[in-house]
Structure 1
């Protein structure tokens, strides 16, 4: 029932049944315990609510199961049945993770199930976006349908790994925004991320994931995809009893995907599209009328001999989905490879740490 909840050991998070506003729909989820206005960070049955406050949540074998008043299954962890080695317990941690495990195994690698593997619209510190290469799962965020409806909304935020890893914000199948590829320190198109947030990116044989932590561990902070299509960093400010937006994208029209088209770039100071030096608008009349989506074309065709490069700084790297990536060569070798490939139009370091390493070539 709504008055029976689980509370994390330090009293940070609470787990239980809830409903929103005057709705008759009931959900099972997690929220911050000490914030007056409920702030939900995870919802189990977001697309299949209970019709009343009468529900049963229990452990059955090695599964967590939510039943309605007619004892029909509304939600389940749906794990393949296995032999129960020892008593199974479920617990809520102070980082907001709700886990099911064997009572004699505290090792995270031995968890039977955890809510962090099934995010809704919120990424908490220590929670990971991206790929678990051992299980094949892809963790991503999906917005609420509206501020008062936790059902799956139109907006998703995903880490994708074709080319160099980067994150994409979409409305259904329409691409709205991308972070730029990971460059070893941060995503290349997000230089303004607040310094009190520490990016943590992991790429190995077991996972390709992004998470974060805050330098001030005593503050409540979260990344969220809003029902209106923004990806935001929020932090709770006790003095004013409000969630403050520290960072939000898209922040202006320059953040919009493919606004200026191929070989075009958006000047963040003026929010105007320009062609890279040596290029001109492909459709000059449309460009003059404000439609720059067709981008730019070369003023002079390449000769594939005697061509050179122009250094572009403070740029979000282009989408690397169809680029060639080699992590084992340096920038000099990268330049030579690009010069010797008549289809190569640009190159960059894959990683800017320690003077730069790796090679990305766009053809």
Structure 2
């Protein structure tokens, strides 16, 4: 009886401890610590936070990973560039709401959330750290979770989770971009970063150190122009926000039971991955970059890349290679130049190009409310403007985007590309309508009115002649009033204007007497007839 009671008591205590762990271990209170082999778990046990060591490394990091998966997939790392070299580290939340990672053997702080410029002031000195089922670890004042004083979603690692935002706060200047790991076993900051550049109209860049590896392009109202396959789907939706306070991109799951992440790998490739329970593995859902034409500016200025042709670089119509010899040897990096230079004359217009990846928008100008006609006029009024298009292609289209100088990093898509209107000299304009509701090519604009005027004159002359002759017949005017003139021998009685012979003229002017001369003009002397 005593033995059974002891066993029963032990089971009750074990159950209580298990329940307490599940309930309480999603939070970290002030002045409490998480040590090696200790973790906290989100309420639905989706994510776990604690210390980990990736691969075969002996370094130790504080991170967040998916729980209950066949292997540990880390989505966020705190001290990625300052690892611990032993298991004596601890994560602590101070009374000021600051998270710190400390090496207890030396007392050195290797990472602190206070280094993040996203920290806000703490109104209530009773902070709580909590791991959410979104994967976000927040620190708040114990009252308002909606406005945390710090959150891991503001300090991206190599992974973009649903609900995360990458972009720039235009008020505070805080920039969010995700950075690759150095290797699969080393979460230190790698060579590749992915984020939004706001020089000109905002656009997405994948950077390899200081160099552009891939340009996702500007947002066109439906997608990034460099992502033709980004479209509505039943798994997730996405949002791009651009206003006076911030610019960012984020996505959210439609079915929250699905696990999805976007990861920037150490080799610079980005992949959208979807977890499959049956196979217990991550499967590729979408890979944005895939071919040679995704390499930044591979065809140079005014060149466009078409992966379906060989060679894949070609000059736009009205342009020719700057270096024909290099172009023939498959080196298109120097790009193209105009065959006929622009002179900012009134006859210049725009040719329409369809299904393109829009050029690099650094240094561009944009307006979110102008019409396409206003956009064309704005571009044509500036001699430095080389191209224009709609800023937003959704619906009937709206806004204006202008380019100045060379057009760089253009490629052709088979579908879902954008439309671009490029400034051209009169001799290079297409004789087709170049945009809805606009006038056609300059030569058509000139020829049509001229032809109309000539036709109108001919019709007027015919009507004048017809009605004059009809009136003369009605009044009985003879057409052969001089038929008895012996000098008029041609017998043409149908002429409207009578013909006079020389004898008749001599008689009428008294042999062209000076007394009958009235004067002299450009066609000779004028005489009075008797």
Establish whether TM, by shorter chain, passes 0.5: yes
RMSD between aligned alpha carbons? 1.7
Matched, 1:51 2:85: yes
Shift of 1:85: 2.0
Instruction: Say if 2:105 is the partner of 1:65.
Output: no
Decide which structure has the larger Cα Rg and report it. 2
Specify which of 354, 360, 363 is matched with residue 319 of structure 1.
360
Q: Confirm or deny: 8 A CA contact 1:166 1:181 kept in the other structure.
A: yes
Distance change in 2, residues 1:10/1:348 (3 Å): same
Mapped pair 1:78 → 2:123: no
SS of aligned partner of 2:355: coil
Structure 1 residue 162, shift from structure 2 partner: 1.8
In structure 2, the partner of 1:292 is 332
2:55 — aligned with what? 21
Q: Give the structure 2 partner of residue 282 of structure 1.
A: 322
Tell me the equivalent position of 1:9: 43
* Normalised TM-score (structure 2): 0.66
CA offsets 1:250-275 (integer angstroms, 9 cap, x no match): 21110110000000111132370111
Match of 1:333 in 2: 374
CA distance in 2, matches of 1:63, 1:180: 37
Inter-partner Cα distance in structure 1 for 2:352 and 2:237:
29
Once residues 348 and 54 of structure 1 are traced to their aligned partners in structure 2, the CA distance between those partners, rounded to angstroms, is: 59
Q: Is the 8 A contact 1:17 1:28 kept in 2?
A: yes
When residues 269 and 199 of structure 1 are mapped into structure 2, their CA distance, relative to the original with a 3 A threshold, is: farther
The alpha carbon displacement at 1:204 in A equals 2.4
156-165 or 210-219, which deviates more: 210-219
Structure 1 residue runs of 5 or longer lacking an equivalent are none
CA contact (8 A) 1:331 1:348 kept: yes
Determine the C-alpha separation between the residues in 1 that align with 2:111 and 2:132. 21
Distance 2:367 2:121 in 1: 42
1:132-147 matches, cutoff 5 A: 132-147=169-184
Measure, in 2, the Cα distance between the counterparts of 1:103 and 1:7: 18
Residue 339 of structure 1 and its aligned partner are, at CA, apart by 2.2
Query: Offset at 1:231?
Result: 1.6
1:36 aligns with 2:70: yes
How far is 1:181 from its partner? 0.4
Deviations 1:145-200 (A, max 9, x none): 00110001000001112222211001100111011101111111101136344221
More strand by share: 1
Query: 1:244 corresponds to which residue?
Result: 283
Which structure 2 residue ranges, 5 or more long, are not aligned?
1-34, 405-530
What is the DSSP-based 3-state SS (H/G/I as helix, E as strand, rest coil) of the residue aligned with 1:285? Answer: helix
Further displaced range: 8-17 or 71-80? 71-80
Instruction: Judge which range, 52-61 or 93-102, deviates more.
Output: 52-61
> For this pair of structures, how many residues does the alignment match?
361
After alignment, is 81-90 or 310-319 more displaced? 81-90
Deviation at 1:81, TM superposition (A): 9.8
Normalised by the length of structure 1, the TM-score is 0.95
- CA contact 1:249–1:255 (8 Å) conserved in 2: no
